[in-house]
Structure 1
Amino acid sequence: MVNRFGMLLGFLLLVNALLAQSFPQFYYYQGQPYYLDYRPDQIHIRFESGFDINNRDTFLSQKLGTLLKSQRPTVSGWDILVELNDWLDGPQMAQLVQSLTAEVEVLVATPVYRHDRVRQIITDEFIVGFRPGVSTQEIEQLNQQYGATVQRVNASGLYYLKAPSGVDAMTMANQYAQEAIVAFAEPNFIYPHGDLLHATVNDPLWSSQWAHRNTGQSVATGASVGPSTVNGSPDADMDVDQAWDITTGDPNIIVAIVDTGTDLDHPDLQANIVGGYDPTENDFVPNDDTEGHGTATSGVVAAVGNNGIGVAGIAYNCKIMPIRIFDDGGSSSDQWIADGINWAWQNGADVLNNSWGGGSPSTAIESAISDAKTQGRGGKGCVILFSSGNDGRDPVNYPAYLTDVIAVGATSMFDEKKNPGSGDQQHWWGGNYGKDLDIVAPTIVYTTDIAGADGYTSGDYNDTFNGTSAACPNAAGVAALVLSVDSNLTANQVQDILQKTADKIEKYAYNSSGWNKHVGYGRVNAYKAVLAAQGQDATHPIVVHTRLQPTSNTAAQVVEATIIDDTGLAGGSLQPKVYYRVNTGSGFGSWQEVIDTDGPSGNVYQFIIPGQSHGTQVEYYIVAHDNSSNQNQVTYPFGANVTGVSGSAATPFTFRVDNFTALSYSGTGPSWGIFGGTATATLTVPDNFVIADLDLKVSGTGNTSSILIGLEAPSGTRAGPFVNTGGSGGWSNTNLDDEATTTLASSSNPFTGDFLPDNALWVFDGENASGTWTLRIYVDGLLNSGEITSWTLSFNSDEVPDQGLPVFLNSFQALVQKDGVLLRWETASEINNQGFEIWRAEDRPENFRLIADYNSDPALQGAGNSSQTNVYEYRDFQVQPGMTYYYKLADVDLNGNRTFHGPLKVKVVGDGVEVLEAGNLPREFKLSPAYPNPFNPETQLRFAIPRNSRSRTEYVRLLVFDTLGRKVKTLYEGQLAPGYYQSRWNGRTDAGRPVASGTYYILLIGEYQRQSQKVTLMK
């Protein structure tokens, strides 16, 4: 016995000596070492079973300090995966895990290993198989020799053993592997957070289905103006891939697609289609028309998964029942709609997806909906979902507002309420919202299209299916997954699960039920919904809080929040907290933690942020955990990533402390004609200051029921403060104010007074106001001419503005010419201006680099202080034909402060344009007659861009087409300031090949106007 303990002591001393230098990086597999790499930025800690896990945060903060980035439980509350702020080399990692293992609270700390993409964690548990014929006594002696304890022995005779405190499983397994009686010994690996299970599919387009799994991948916008792709926010998705670890759908669950029909022969849908109905022709062949709307919604719900082609539906093992209620011309009737809904529930549909709406109420439709809800599924009720509408206004459309249905609004790939200001670039629409909105789901998604030439595209798939039409089937697919887990749930229970497990996105305040009128109960989360369907607690605490406003009060500020959870709230280190940080002018400090030291009054918590001096910006989050075994965490705003809180990055609440200055800037225009479209006006704020609050006031004419107003800051941040509300009568001093109490929906034209905007203006808070602001008017409909007669930006600023921009520009333009790109700008005034810098980027407006400045080029030296007009030019000769370039101009004051203008986009094609000097700027958009015409070998083309263009510069294209409408030559493409210009065409194509004699068309295309003329080449 003495000898055995002596051997054990020697072994442990040897282990400790080795740990001081390194850690094991292989285990024995089939008698050979199997090497594993390790993650230099992660460790794993298993605490002693007697450790109070409510003190976990405090322990980690004390022991790791600034090295701690985040922490998350793995298989139990005592097993913690820790992410580090730094990468550690081998000796540093060994030192860290040894020091943590030495703590009395810790059973063992280890590196996190990896094999390919999968992380593998070792603890103190390992598995041993003994050779045949080995006696129980021999096994017991060996276990006693090494201090291992038996956890269990399975039916195959494998021993699950636990190492002595302080010894990791890989070290112990490797020691056992040396023993003659052991057949194998390996760690009992943990594969954390779905690494091993990561349910994916082999459908090649699935990686682009951001609504399932958003990694920040490039996503098509479908926008005609602006970026063609954007990179969304990671985790702004429905966690569909995690839900697939539980279920991919049950073939017995049927989703009726009540729509335009479905492409019955689509290779990515056909296997999942069951018999449907076409009430428009009273037959059972509900094939899609040429539009493709029903095929697109079908693919979102249940496109076949794991078939090696195309996309995957959310519930890709469920079935689709096509119900065609629109004829070939897109028309429908109450009868067709009611017949379609009735046939669906009477023939086994469990979920009814309705991506349509509008019109006046119909008793026949409502009766069919009521019967489906009360009699469908053998009395359990069908789950009926309707899209909320695409007008972007309050309220939601009919029938979505009916109590028997689920009204589904839309969200962007940035987890924003879809509105004209959201980052998806589709600024012409928004999802309807209001008191009857239930949930929101992603829009602008990848899905199926009618195979072949029909439908939205000429292919079989569409990557920008949009509207609440796309959001609704996303929610319907999740409802199908819920029923796949438990088909005995009633329709009301399914709706309750969808609502309670939704992620509370956006900063709009939620009520005590976890609802607000902008996003309902939140954005659908498939993973949490299927967990709840299994009976697990997948709901998070509800946080009710009204964001703090800018203040001049330097005293402590109280963050008051009502926090509610059905299982109660966690205590100790997981009790509700506020994390805050401050910026006094030199950048933000570290996050600080605040608790309600006096404890809550009922469910009401008060967190005290200490008083701050004037000139301070404060950011804060609220964090809470429930008291369930899962310790479900919520942050408000959703998605915090601060010390001790896991999650993806989100924008915190912010407020400023200072004496505030009121500043206003006014402009006029734009106007628009009877054919609708888009109109734009700009307003320059010449002063430098940080926005604490912003109101927008407008006056003008037009039928406001089909007008969207978008506002864009110099930074590119957008809002959609007024969306399709009211009727004829326009606006009269309509002031849109986040602090107002009257809604637009409750008033009428001309909306005189203060109103809550449709979408908040606080998105601009904290930005610098200096630069050009853009007001965009989107007119959806004909015969609705009008104009904005005046608009005013009213700011509250906590900084006294300086004496204006160092330079105030009249114009800035980039012109392609024969020998390169000419940059030309005109200043109205200059203050303390040292000079200018030229910055350039290729292909896209990012990663700009300095190509010239006033130190190297005397032509770029400024005028110092000047109140007269000055004209500057710079020629960039280092350009390549066919390339697109972006230019920024920076003026630099005497203190070295830069103010940027631009960017301007040009494409180096053709011979470019020349500026023609003239006394007055043109008054009309005009393409003058070509001269000579007929011509050979060259004709001269002059055109004019007027001052009343909708913005300071206009994006212009000068193109040549043949008589069949085929583009022959791009003569110019880029932004131009108001003025007169000249170009030439030499009768050659873009490739430089001569064209044949004949007639050609010259097109001058601006942002809002176009003109054309014929020219004849005679050789």
Structure 2
Amino acid sequence: MKTALITILLCAGLGASWLATSQTDGSLEAKSAASPTASPANDSTTGYNRLIVKFKEETAAKTDQTAGGQVDPQTRINTFNARGGMQVLGQKAVTLSYLKSVSEQAHVVQTDQPLSRAEMKALTQQLAQDARVEYAEIDEKVFAHFAPNDPGYVASQWAWKSSGSNAGATNTDSAWNKSTGGQPVSGAGVVVAVLDTGYVTHADLTANLLLTGYDFVSADTLPYSPFSTANDGNGRDSDAADPGNWNTNTGNGCSVSDSGWHGTRVAGIVSAVGNNSTGMIGIAYGAKVLPVRVLGVCGGYVSDIAAGMRWAAGILSISGVFNPNVAKILNLSLGSSGTCLSTFQDAVNDVRAAGSIVVASTGNDGSITTISQPANCQGVIAVTAHMLTGDSPSFANDGPGTTISAPGVSIYGTLNSGTTTPVASPGGDTYVAANGTSFAAPMVSGVAALLLQIKPTMGINELTSRLVDSVRAFPSGTYCFNKTSCGAGMLDADAATALVLADTAPTTTATANKTDPVARSTLVTLTGTATAGANGTGISTVGWTQVSGPTVTLSGANTSTATFTTPATSDTVGMTFRFQATSISSGSSSSMVSINMVSAPNPVTSSGGGGGGGSLDWADITALLFMALTGLALRRLPATQKQGR
């Protein structure tokens, strides 16, 4: 009886599926406790050639005056051109010339060649070190404040706006008012692959869709009909259009439902066309979305998703043809229960090796201990969801491996009015506000596109660091406050873009030689890497700390490599460790790695009263039932809003 009762209490509600599904289900409640679309710009080659130099007043009064008594700024500027010009990052010799004055001491100077932002930043730092110079800075281009004229933005897109109005918002409106390479920050020139149900044409989205996507939904095998999942009469082909995923067959393990147009909703969050007086605006309204169809009726096969990931990243050919629009960001708003399958992990590893990141939703099962796959694979940016208040909705999974939280409640997206097959655009064009971690993930993917526009050469580790290091803390009193299981914090587009534009803070990565599942009494090695920002200073300190799980002793905690031995027994199986690096003068960066051990709970001792053989008496049974019911009661606050599809 003891074994049976404990099994019932611990395993109720758990399950697994061989199909990955979109993550938009579950009831909603808080957990307890004027610019046109920018044209593509590549900041590594486009440029900057103007800077402002202010000389110290006492220097200007004593030197380089003409017969008329006026200071000659060109003479001062020419002193910097001695010895063949100024060396920039040890690679270029740059000559400066006077352009115009800002004030008596401040002058605009131009370079004889265009420089990247990093090069120009390095040049200003060199000039600022001169004893005669008070400061030097880039002569930035400033734009009129961008206020989108999309009607849905004002009425329905709270998550895009200032956190001053809603604590959980992303401050994306402020990020749009920054510039890079002479263009507004909009995600221009970046490709985001949306691996989902495909797309339907929509007047507010199609201009930003790359219709060179692919349909990876393959033929089914018995006992299913050949194309019951694909629902388009064929298997893999070059048409990523969504034929609809309505379901009337209760025998396939899925509920009866209308078509959800999930991929179109996700794509609109990433890159709905902006400032077109229509509908909504995407987070990265200047980016392009590559639709990769991997889900159909009742989900999709892991094998199809893994193939679609490799193709999107440009490392798999289909019929001898590689993806002509390689995506540096892969959005997977899908998943299933269980630990990360080797097929998923291999695909993630290959995609990362090719230089693309994987952003995945954590799932909507209401778990506070585990997240779904592929979000729980190593190297994935795993996104949970939060509400307007910054609190965590009851449906959102969180647990070890969660990277970051983004808005996932009442998220506006593009939709089609068809209940089965799509209704042609524009007649079928519509919009919907819905809930789910499925809609939090594309928030992160959109911000990642903004960052890659600013610095296209950014690697996946740097990109991840910038997203993580720029988060805002969860509000005090919310479920996720001071909980690492919810990730580093809440997504902040404005802070993230500022970090990349400055490029002074370090970046970090954290890995472990064993992650899931790890045997008991096993030696685990943690390895951290730290890299100084391109415009920053060297690394000052590094170190490891444990942030959750049964306490262990870390050897080498103040170095890049630390070790520990997993406990022989413990009440929990999850552990999380943080690696942090601090630069000499330009801030810090941290990354976390999670370890999942095999189960080995502390033994439960019987009360002895004649039960024999470890049996439970009524006191034991009452205590276990009380613990189970208390856990359910404490896990959620009362419902505040109904969950949408």
TM-score of the aligned structures, taking structure 2 as reference length: 0.50
From the two aligned structures, give the one with the greater strand fraction: 1
Larger Rg: 1
Give the number of the structure with larger relative contact order, counting CA–CA contacts within 8 Å between residues 6 or more apart: 2
